[in-house]
Chain A
Amino acid sequence: MAEDGRRTVAVHFFYLLKEDTESLQRLWALLGAGSGSPRGTTSEGLASSSLEPEGHCQVVHKVELDELDLCLLMLADMSAIEIVYHRPASAPLGSSWRQVLEKIDETRALVDREKAPLLGETTVLVAGGAREADIGELAAAVLGADELVREADHTEAYTTTLGRRVPAGTILASELEPGISSGGFLLNFILPGQDSRVTSRDYYALATGQPEAVIACLLPEVDAALKKLARVTAHFEQERLTIASERSVVDRQVGAVLHQQLITETGTPGTGRLEEQIASLSRMFGVLGTDSLLVRRAEDQLHRSLKTLDDSLDQLIAKGPGARDEISKHYHSIYAVELEAVRDNLADLAFSRQSAQAAIEVVRTQVELLRAGEEAAIQSQTKELLSRSLLLQQERLALQVAAGFVEFVLVFYYVLKSWEGIVGQNAVEHIQPVLRLIVVAAMSAGAALGTHFLARALHRDYWKGRGLWLSVALLAVSLGAMVLLSIGIT
């Protein structure tokens, strides 16, 4: 309670991205000017250093006006401008709330015109130490949602439907931690048609004799954690939808590949076609790997965001046996379902990855079998070619021997006749037959072998072979012998 006879009647928070200091300064100046600040709450009034506090929630700037206070809060991930509305202590609560809600709507319209990049808004209706049931009904009526149902009244419906539920209108009530404001209640209104996960404006009612500690930091921390969780969840939900659609495409393609393998089992698909399938399956496997990574990251982020929410709720809400805490229970159940859905996605992706891997193995095995068959056929053909080549070589050798023999006989005959022609037949006949045979045979052999080795030297362009030179030497020696024998006769 304010010391000057004023009571805090409502609080409105505008949340922005913490690093967006430019928008924050602009909005601060706009709200200051719109509130008729006597001192002028311009952006110059905000030192840049004050916008970068360390640690958790801090009130880095505060301007007190006649009917309201403007506070600038720095939270873990967000910054918030908090407008605290006051009323005379004697004014009735219901009419004060209605008046303040009108003022809040005017301020919101002003902010909307500026297109400030807000992360969300929250309105908190504040009562003194009134009973929770009384302010719940009154606040619901003021918010134009008389039909709101207490969470406790439809617990059974909630537990049976479980899962994701968009309530038709619910009031969640939790007891405040006794140590922070001598106890009290915090009510969270989920208006009809409002998705309790994704919302741009939230409503609370606070019933406590000392609301300052709660509205200064404890409530904005919980609220910011919930807003962040809602955004993160919505973001990952979109991502998971894309991933689920990718997974279903991959599953269909993997199924098609495996089906094709079955129906073409009797045919012979080429290895090229199968390798294309392996490449395609590998790409799909890669896509699923990346998707798994993204979903794992989502799981990690959700887990951490839930931990942050738990930490902030622990400071605000009473715990222990007998303490009523519908707010924590409600949001926990919703985000537990989200977390479970993410984990299910991970399991589905793992299954799809296994299927893709199995398909790759199947196609790869088929390629290997096909290649083994092709190699066996090539080996058989090579063997046949080698056998034919061997046969040809044998036939060529036989022909060479025959040709060499014919050449020898012919050369023998012509050498003998040529010798007789040169030195005379009678003269040659005086030479011993054996000697004559040796000389003529040596010359014929030299000529036949020389031809063979000369052809080989010409073919290989190699002139240092021993065979060639031995043949030449044999020719030379036999010619020399013929000359010497002819001289000896004459």
Chain B
Amino acid sequence: MDVIKLIEEAIEYERQAADRYRQGAKGADDPETRALFEQLVRWEEDHERILRDRLATLKLIQGQQ
């Protein structure tokens, strides 16, 4: 499988996960649970950022080939 396609899919998964946690944060009854979900959202967003960065570099490298 093409590594670029794989990373694009991974980015989509990270986005979906962040959305799910965002929903969780919205539906959370107590502040502690909400804070936990918000932390998870930040994690997933961070993962997405790292993957996007890696994707851009790979595209730059492939553009050179």
Contacts and interface: CB of A to CB of B under 8 A. Distances in A.
Contacts of B58: 235
Contact of A228 (B52, B54, B60): B60
Nearest to A19: B59
A17 interface: yes
A468 B44 CA distance: 94
A458 B27 CA distance: 92
A17 B52 contact: no
A232 B60 contact: yes
Interface in B29-59: 52, 54, 56-59
Contacts, number: 30
Interface string A222-245: 000000100110110000000000
Interface in B4-31: none
Interface residues of A, number: 15
Contact of B57 (A18, A19, A234, A304): A234
A73 to B, nearest CB: 16
A301 B58 CA distance: 11
A17 B59 contact: yes
A231 B62 CA distance: 13
B31 to A, nearest CB: 27
A119 B60 contact: yes
A305 interface: yes
B57 A77 contact: no
Nearest to A78: B60
21 contacts: A17-B56, A19-B59, A77-B64, A78-B60, A117-B52, A117-B56, A119-B56, A119-B60, A228-B60, A231-B56, A231-B57, A231-B60, A232-B57, A232-B60, A232-B61, A234-B57, A235-B58, A235-B61, A301-B61, A301-B64, A304-B64
Nearest 7 A/B pairs, CB to CB: A235-B57, A231-B57, A77-B63, A17-B56, A77-B60, A228-B60, A17-B59
Interface of B: 52, 54, 56-61, 63-64
Interface of A: 17-19, 77-78, 117, 119, 228, 231-232, 234-235, 301, 304-305
